[in-house]
Amino acid sequence: MIEQLKNLNIGEVLENVDLKKYNTYRISGNAACIVFPNNLFNLIELLEFLKNNNIKYKVIGKGSNLIFNDGYDGVLIKLDKFDKFIIQGNEITIGAGCSLIKVSNQLARLGYTGFEFATGIPGSVGGAIFMNAGAYKSDMGYIVKSVTVLTPDLKVKELTNYDLDFHYRTSFIQKNPGYICLEATIILKKGNSEEILQLIDDRKKRRLESQPLEYPSAGSVFRNPEGDFAGRLIEESGLKGKQIGGAMVSNKHANFVINYGGATGKEIKELITLIKDTVKDKYNIDLKCEQEFVE
Protein backbone atom coordinates (compact mmCIF):
# COMPACT_ATOMS: atom_id res chain seq x y z
CA MET A 1 0.00 0.00 0.00
CA ILE A 2 2.73 2.45 0.95
CA GLU A 3 4.61 1.84 -2.28
CA GLN A 4 1.40 2.46 -4.21
CA LEU A 5 0.90 5.72 -2.33
CA LYS A 6 4.44 6.83 -3.13
CA ASN A 7 3.89 6.00 -6.80
CA LEU A 8 0.89 8.34 -6.89
CA ASN A 9 3.31 11.29 -6.49
CA ILE A 10 0.78 13.23 -4.46
CA GLY A 11 3.13 14.51 -1.77
CA GLU A 12 5.46 13.37 0.98
CA VAL A 13 4.74 9.88 2.32
CA LEU A 14 6.27 8.78 5.64
CA GLU A 15 6.05 5.18 6.85
CA ASN A 16 6.37 3.62 10.32
CA VAL A 17 6.30 7.00 12.06
CA ASP A 18 6.57 7.56 15.81
CA LEU A 19 3.48 9.63 16.65
CA LYS A 20 5.22 11.42 19.53
CA LYS A 21 5.88 14.58 17.50
CA TYR A 22 2.36 14.59 16.04
CA ASN A 23 0.35 14.99 19.26
CA THR A 24 0.70 17.51 22.07
CA TYR A 25 0.47 14.83 24.78
CA ARG A 26 3.73 13.52 23.26
CA ILE A 27 2.39 9.96 23.34
CA SER A 28 4.56 7.48 21.47
CA GLY A 29 3.08 4.92 19.12
CA ASN A 30 3.57 3.78 15.57
CA ALA A 31 1.63 5.15 12.62
CA ALA A 32 1.70 2.95 9.55
CA CYS A 33 1.78 5.96 7.25
CA ILE A 34 1.45 9.76 7.20
CA VAL A 35 0.78 11.59 3.93
CA PHE A 36 1.22 15.31 3.27
CA PRO A 37 -0.77 16.08 0.06
CA ASN A 38 0.73 18.86 -2.07
CA ASN A 39 -2.60 20.44 -3.02
CA LEU A 40 -6.35 19.93 -3.33
CA PHE A 41 -6.06 17.84 -6.50
CA ASN A 42 -3.61 15.51 -4.75
CA LEU A 43 -5.80 15.31 -1.66
CA ILE A 44 -8.76 14.21 -3.76
CA GLU A 45 -6.59 11.68 -5.58
CA LEU A 46 -5.38 10.32 -2.23
CA LEU A 47 -8.90 10.02 -0.81
CA GLU A 48 -10.15 8.28 -3.95
CA PHE A 49 -7.32 5.75 -3.62
CA LEU A 50 -8.03 5.14 0.07
CA LYS A 51 -11.79 4.80 -0.42
CA ASN A 52 -11.44 2.52 -3.45
CA ASN A 53 -9.09 0.25 -1.52
CA ASN A 54 -11.10 0.39 1.72
CA ILE A 55 -8.11 1.75 3.65
CA LYS A 56 -8.63 3.32 7.07
CA TYR A 57 -7.62 6.99 7.24
CA LYS A 58 -7.90 10.12 9.37
CA VAL A 59 -7.18 13.80 8.71
CA ILE A 60 -5.31 15.40 11.62
CA GLY A 61 -4.08 18.90 12.40
CA LYS A 62 -1.48 19.66 15.08
CA GLY A 63 -2.67 16.76 17.28
CA SER A 64 -3.63 19.17 20.06
CA ASN A 65 -6.85 17.34 20.95
CA LEU A 66 -5.96 13.77 20.02
CA ILE A 67 -5.22 10.77 22.24
CA PHE A 68 -3.73 7.87 20.32
CA ASN A 69 -4.42 4.57 22.05
CA ASP A 70 -1.56 2.52 20.66
CA GLY A 71 -0.49 3.97 17.34
CA TYR A 72 -2.61 4.06 14.17
CA ASP A 73 -2.84 1.23 11.68
CA GLY A 74 -4.17 3.29 8.77
CA VAL A 75 -3.18 6.42 6.86
CA LEU A 76 -2.95 9.76 8.64
CA ILE A 77 -3.37 12.81 6.42
CA LYS A 78 -1.81 16.15 7.32
CA LEU A 79 -2.73 19.31 5.41
CA ASP A 80 0.45 21.24 6.23
CA LYS A 81 0.77 22.30 2.57
CA PHE A 82 -2.64 23.97 2.77
CA ASP A 83 -1.04 27.15 4.07
CA LYS A 84 -2.77 29.97 2.18
CA PHE A 85 -2.65 33.31 3.97
CA ILE A 86 -4.25 36.20 2.07
CA ILE A 87 -5.31 39.54 3.56
CA GLN A 88 -7.89 41.63 1.71
CA GLY A 89 -8.95 44.53 3.89
CA ASN A 90 -10.73 43.11 6.93
CA GLU A 91 -11.16 39.68 5.33
CA ILE A 92 -8.39 37.14 5.79
CA THR A 93 -8.34 33.74 4.09
CA ILE A 94 -6.27 31.12 5.90
CA GLY A 95 -5.41 27.55 4.88
CA ALA A 96 -6.53 24.68 7.10
CA GLY A 97 -2.95 23.57 7.75
CA CYS A 98 -1.79 26.91 9.17
CA SER A 99 -0.87 27.14 12.85
CA LEU A 100 -3.57 28.94 14.82
CA ILE A 101 -0.99 30.46 17.18
CA LYS A 102 1.22 31.66 14.33
CA VAL A 103 -1.48 33.35 12.24
CA SER A 104 -3.31 34.90 15.20
CA ASN A 105 -0.06 36.41 16.50
CA GLN A 106 0.89 37.61 13.03
CA LEU A 107 -2.48 39.31 12.59
CA ALA A 108 -2.16 40.90 16.03
CA ARG A 109 1.20 42.39 15.03
CA LEU A 110 -0.50 43.79 11.91
CA GLY A 111 -3.07 45.50 14.11
CA TYR A 112 -6.06 43.21 13.61
CA THR A 113 -8.30 42.61 16.61
CA GLY A 114 -10.83 39.84 17.29
CA PHE A 115 -8.44 36.89 17.00
CA GLU A 116 -6.53 37.44 20.24
CA PHE A 117 -8.28 34.50 21.91
CA ALA A 118 -6.44 32.07 19.61
CA THR A 119 -2.88 33.11 20.40
CA GLY A 120 -2.54 30.40 23.06
CA ILE A 121 -4.35 27.55 21.27
CA PRO A 122 -1.83 25.08 19.78
CA GLY A 123 -3.92 23.71 16.92
CA SER A 124 -4.34 24.14 13.20
CA VAL A 125 -6.92 26.42 11.60
CA GLY A 126 -8.77 23.36 10.29
CA GLY A 127 -8.83 21.80 13.73
CA ALA A 128 -10.04 25.08 15.25
CA ILE A 129 -12.97 25.18 12.82
CA PHE A 130 -13.79 21.53 13.54
CA MET A 131 -13.81 22.10 17.32
CA ASN A 132 -15.00 25.72 17.25
CA ALA A 133 -11.93 26.43 19.36
CA GLY A 134 -12.16 29.35 21.71
CA ALA A 135 -11.08 31.09 24.90
CA TYR A 136 -11.82 34.28 26.84
CA LYS A 137 -15.54 34.18 25.94
CA SER A 138 -14.86 34.12 22.21
CA ASP A 139 -14.41 31.43 19.58
CA MET A 140 -14.09 30.79 15.84
CA GLY A 141 -17.85 31.18 15.38
CA TYR A 142 -17.54 34.91 16.16
CA ILE A 143 -15.05 35.65 13.38
CA VAL A 144 -15.57 33.08 10.60
CA LYS A 145 -17.34 34.33 7.48
CA SER A 146 -17.15 31.11 5.48
CA VAL A 147 -15.23 27.86 5.14
CA THR A 148 -14.30 25.94 2.01
CA VAL A 149 -14.72 22.22 2.57
CA LEU A 150 -14.31 18.95 0.74
CA THR A 151 -17.54 16.98 1.05
CA PRO A 152 -17.74 13.21 1.65
CA ASP A 153 -18.36 12.74 -2.09
CA LEU A 154 -15.17 14.74 -2.78
CA LYS A 155 -16.82 17.94 -4.03
CA VAL A 156 -15.54 21.39 -3.08
CA LYS A 157 -18.19 23.48 -1.34
CA GLU A 158 -18.38 26.76 0.54
CA LEU A 159 -20.21 26.80 3.87
CA THR A 160 -21.34 30.08 5.44
CA ASN A 161 -21.12 30.86 9.13
CA TYR A 162 -24.80 29.93 9.41
CA ASP A 163 -24.22 26.60 7.63
CA LEU A 164 -21.40 25.78 10.03
CA ASP A 165 -23.77 25.78 13.01
CA PHE A 166 -21.11 26.84 15.50
CA HIS A 167 -21.88 26.15 19.15
CA TYR A 168 -19.73 25.66 22.26
CA ARG A 169 -16.79 23.48 21.12
CA THR A 170 -18.68 21.99 18.18
CA SER A 171 -19.60 22.66 14.55
CA PHE A 172 -21.35 21.20 11.53
CA ILE A 173 -18.04 19.67 10.40
CA GLN A 174 -17.57 17.88 13.72
CA LYS A 175 -21.12 16.51 13.59
CA ASN A 176 -20.86 15.39 9.96
CA PRO A 177 -17.89 13.01 9.49
CA GLY A 178 -16.33 13.07 6.06
CA TYR A 179 -16.29 16.85 5.60
CA ILE A 180 -12.74 18.24 5.47
CA CYS A 181 -11.92 21.90 6.10
CA LEU A 182 -9.65 23.26 3.36
CA GLU A 183 -9.54 26.96 4.22
CA ALA A 184 -11.44 29.59 6.19
CA THR A 185 -12.22 33.25 5.62
CA ILE A 186 -12.45 35.32 8.79
CA ILE A 187 -13.46 38.93 9.39
CA LEU A 188 -11.50 41.08 11.84
CA LYS A 189 -11.41 44.75 12.77
CA LYS A 190 -8.42 47.06 12.80
CA GLY A 191 -7.19 48.14 16.19
CA ASN A 192 -4.11 49.40 18.00
CA SER A 193 -1.37 46.78 17.63
CA GLU A 194 0.43 47.86 20.82
CA GLU A 195 -2.75 47.45 22.88
CA ILE A 196 -3.55 44.13 21.20
CA LEU A 197 -0.06 42.76 21.84
CA GLN A 198 -0.17 43.97 25.47
CA LEU A 199 -3.45 42.09 25.99
CA ILE A 200 -1.94 38.95 24.47
CA ASP A 201 1.15 39.25 26.68
CA ASP A 202 -0.97 39.73 29.83
CA ARG A 203 -3.04 36.67 29.01
CA LYS A 204 0.09 34.63 28.31
CA LYS A 205 1.47 35.49 31.76
CA ARG A 206 -1.80 34.45 33.40
CA ARG A 207 -1.81 31.14 31.50
CA LEU A 208 1.73 30.39 32.63
CA GLU A 209 0.67 31.01 36.23
CA SER A 210 -2.57 29.01 36.09
CA GLN A 211 -1.96 26.21 33.55
CA PRO A 212 0.65 23.40 33.56
CA LEU A 213 2.26 24.47 30.29
CA GLU A 214 5.59 22.98 31.39
CA TYR A 215 4.18 19.49 30.75
CA PRO A 216 2.76 17.90 27.58
CA SER A 217 -1.04 17.99 27.54
CA ALA A 218 -3.94 18.68 25.21
CA GLY A 219 -5.33 21.64 27.13
CA SER A 220 -8.67 21.48 28.90
CA VAL A 221 -9.97 17.92 29.00
CA PHE A 222 -13.65 18.64 29.60
CA ARG A 223 -16.10 21.28 28.47
CA ASN A 224 -17.41 23.49 31.24
CA PRO A 225 -20.96 22.45 32.16
CA GLU A 226 -23.49 25.27 32.01
CA GLY A 227 -23.11 27.58 34.98
CA ASP A 228 -20.07 25.81 36.41
CA PHE A 229 -16.43 24.91 35.74
CA ALA A 230 -15.10 21.44 35.05
CA GLY A 231 -11.89 22.27 36.90
CA ARG A 232 -13.81 23.14 40.08
CA LEU A 233 -15.83 19.92 39.96
CA ILE A 234 -12.69 17.83 39.46
CA GLU A 235 -10.77 19.61 42.21
CA GLU A 236 -13.68 19.35 44.66
CA SER A 237 -13.80 15.62 43.86
CA GLY A 238 -10.31 15.33 45.32
CA LEU A 239 -8.65 14.35 42.06
CA LYS A 240 -5.87 16.92 41.81
CA GLY A 241 -2.59 15.02 41.59
CA LYS A 242 -4.32 11.71 40.83
CA GLN A 243 -2.03 9.52 38.74
CA ILE A 244 -2.38 6.46 36.55
CA GLY A 245 1.04 5.48 35.26
CA GLY A 246 2.59 8.54 33.62
CA ALA A 247 -0.76 10.35 33.31
CA MET A 248 -1.64 12.83 36.03
CA VAL A 249 -4.36 15.35 36.92
CA SER A 250 -2.46 18.62 37.15
CA ASN A 251 -1.96 20.13 40.58
CA LYS A 252 -2.02 23.55 38.95
CA HIS A 253 -5.30 23.21 37.01
CA ALA A 254 -7.59 20.23 37.63
CA ASN A 255 -9.09 20.28 34.11
CA PHE A 256 -5.69 19.43 32.64
CA VAL A 257 -4.37 15.90 32.37
CA ILE A 258 -0.62 16.00 31.82
CA ASN A 259 1.96 13.55 30.60
CA TYR A 260 3.98 13.54 33.79
CA GLY A 261 6.46 11.05 32.36
CA GLY A 262 6.13 8.42 29.67
CA ALA A 263 2.34 8.27 29.74
CA THR A 264 0.60 6.00 27.25
CA GLY A 265 -2.66 6.75 25.50
CA LYS A 266 -4.27 3.94 27.48
CA GLU A 267 -3.21 5.52 30.80
CA ILE A 268 -4.52 8.94 29.78
CA LYS A 269 -7.82 7.42 28.68
CA GLU A 270 -8.15 5.50 31.95
CA LEU A 271 -7.53 8.65 33.98
CA ILE A 272 -10.03 10.71 31.96
CA THR A 273 -12.62 7.95 32.39
CA LEU A 274 -11.96 7.89 36.15
CA ILE A 275 -12.46 11.66 36.36
CA LYS A 276 -15.70 11.49 34.41
CA ASP A 277 -17.06 8.63 36.54
CA THR A 278 -16.05 10.28 39.83
CA VAL A 279 -17.71 13.61 38.98
CA LYS A 280 -20.82 11.77 37.79
CA ASP A 281 -21.03 9.83 41.08
CA LYS A 282 -20.44 12.91 43.25
CA TYR A 283 -22.44 15.59 41.41
CA ASN A 284 -24.60 13.66 38.90
CA ILE A 285 -23.02 15.77 36.13
CA ASP A 286 -21.89 14.19 32.88
CA LEU A 287 -18.70 15.99 31.89
CA LYS A 288 -18.21 16.10 28.12
CA CYS A 289 -14.68 15.38 26.94
CA GLU A 290 -13.23 17.86 24.43
CA GLN A 291 -10.50 15.44 23.41
CA GLU A 292 -10.76 12.62 20.89
CA PHE A 293 -9.64 9.05 21.45
CA VAL A 294 -8.17 7.71 18.21
CA GLU A 295 -8.23 3.96 17.76
* Contact between residue 74 and residue 58 where contact means Cβ atoms under 8 Å apart: yes
DSSP 230-281: HHHHHHHTT-TT-EETTEEE-SS-TTEEEE-SS--HHHHHHHHHHHHHHHHH
> Torsion-angle region of residue 284: left (phi > 0), alpha (psi -120 to 50) or beta?
left
Give the up-direction half-sphere exposure of residue 117: CA atoms within 13 A in the CB hemisphere. Answer: 15
* Contact between residue 246 and residue 261 where contact means Cβ atoms under 8 Å apart: yes
Alpha-carbon distance of 279 to 229, in angstroms, equals 12
User: 49: part of which helix (H) or strand (E)?
Assistant: helix 40-52
Alpha-carbon distance of 150 to 62, in angstroms, equals 19
* Contact between residue 140 and residue 188 where contact means Cβ atoms under 8 Å apart: no
Q: Considering 64, 99, 104, 220, which one is annotated as catalytic?
A: 220
Residue of 283, 165, 166, 275 lying closest to 222 (CA atoms): 275
Check if 220 is active-site. yes
Check if 235 is active-site. no
* Contact between residue 257 and residue 240 where contact means Cβ atoms under 8 Å apart: no
Q: Considering 99, 104, 146, 169, which one is annotated as catalytic?
A: 169
Query: Annotated catalytic sites, by residue?
Result: 169, 220, 290
